[in-house]
Amino acid sequence: MRKRWLTAAVLSVCTPLTLAQAPGTQPGATTGACDRSCLEGLLNGYLQSMLSHTPATAPVAPSVRFKENNKAYALGQTATWKSVTGLTDYRIYVSDPAAGQAEFVGILQFGPQHSFFSLRIQVKDQRIVAADTIVPGAGLSASDLSDSALGMFAGGAALGGHARPGFAQELPPDQHPTRAELAASARSYYEAINTGRPDVATFAPDCHRIENGVPTVNDPKGQFPVFSKDGRTLPNFFAMGCREQMNTGVWNTELVDHIEVPVIDAARGVAVATGLFHHQGKSRCANTRGYGVVCQKNPVPMTILLTELFKVRAGQIGEIESVWFILPHKGKAQ
């Protein structure tokens, strides 16, 4: 169940970004292939330019295409670029040299406020030709940020200062999944939601999911905003693991479409998926397994622009990291 991002207390010490050029990347290079270090060096160069509010220094092609939260802008001409003050140590890199694409997930600082942040770049001739970003906290009003009904998604307050190490760890060479296998694992997650068949997705026993910084499984302190239509006492769905939660059918109200898997990092076993998540896209209530009819407390449908990272080991989804932004219901990806 996804709601809006909110501000929160400081997650970690935010310091000015110090990003050295990635090894093997030559500043100013404009030709040739772009390997992992090149891609991550370009991500770092982009971030450095954003934090210094100098889009002219970004390692981009003259005709770069830039989007923030599904809208196209000239590079640097958004409130995010103009007002960001820092980047925490919470950072995830996913690189796909074969596709010429890379993904970064982190936490931006805007003075005392924070927002999770997703950046996906497409590269040609060692220059960024497209940059697609999601900034969940962008455009929220003071009333949005103080709305207690949205407090369960408090901008990552439940997290420590660093991302889960599993996303950075490379798998042994003989355990690298194929590109097709990684893409299939990511797509199986959405197939399970869309079809109501939880068996099509394979989860590791210790699978964990974090959305905009907030755990939505394995968290006994969280509470799904749902109620029993029959007046039954419901379990804490947030306290369940990935498999157990999916098996209940509580997600059967939701619909995901426009699914793509643009970035695949076989060495790390990570796939990046994008799509539109339609909250209550099927219905407000779901006929769950063992708990009767369960309905959403909030009757207002939402459409969410979504980027999700899947860490896969031996064909099992072990970690999920989500960054998303609310669009008008039934919004369309541009």
For the chain, which ranges sit under pLDDT 50?
1-31, 141-159
CATH for 194: 3.10.450.50
For residue 223, give the nearest of 8, 231, 214, 303 by alpha carbon. 214
Q: Would residue 64 count as lying in a domain?
A: yes
Check whether residue 109 and residue 206 sit in a common domain. Answer: no
| Final residue belonging to a domain, choices 128, 163, 198 | 163
pLDDT digits 0-9 by tens, 62-84? 999 999 999 999 999 999 999 99
Does 332 reside within a domain? no
What pLDDT, on a 0 to 100 scale, did the predictor assign at position 308? 98
What does pTM read for this prediction?
Answer: 0.87
145, 163, 181 - which closes a domain: 163
Domain extent, residue 87, equals 36-163
> Do 139 and 189 lie in a common domain?
no
Residues 205 and 271 in one domain: yes
Residues 197, 295 within the same domain? yes
Same domain, 153 and 192: no
In the β-sheet with 292-296, what is the strand arrangement from edge to edge? 226-228, 292-296, 285-288
Domain boundary among 139, 163, 187: 163
pLDDT of 224 reads 85
Q: What is the number of domains present in the chain?
A: 2
Q: What is the pLDDT of residue 330?
A: 61
Q: Are 185 and 273 members of one domain?
A: yes
Query: Do 152 and 184 have their domain in common?
Result: no
Shared-domain flag, residues 220 and 148: no
Whether residue 205 is found in the same domain as residue 131: no
Instruction: Using CB atoms within 10 Å of the CB of residue 202, give its burial: 0 to 12 exposed, 13 to 18 middle, 19+ buried.
Output: middle
Structure-block tokens of residue 175? 């355990």
**What would the pLDDT profile of 4-51 be if each residue is shown by its tens digit?**
322 222 222 233 344 433 333 333 333 469 999 999 999 999 999 999
174 and 24 Cβ atoms separated by less than 8 Å: no
Let me know whether 108 and 76 are in one domain.
yes
Q: Same structural domain for residues 69 and 105?
A: yes
DSSP per-residue codes, 189-258:
HHHHHHHS-GGGS-EEEEEEEEETTEE-SS-TT---SEEETT-PPPP-GGGS-HHHHHHHTGGGG-EEEE
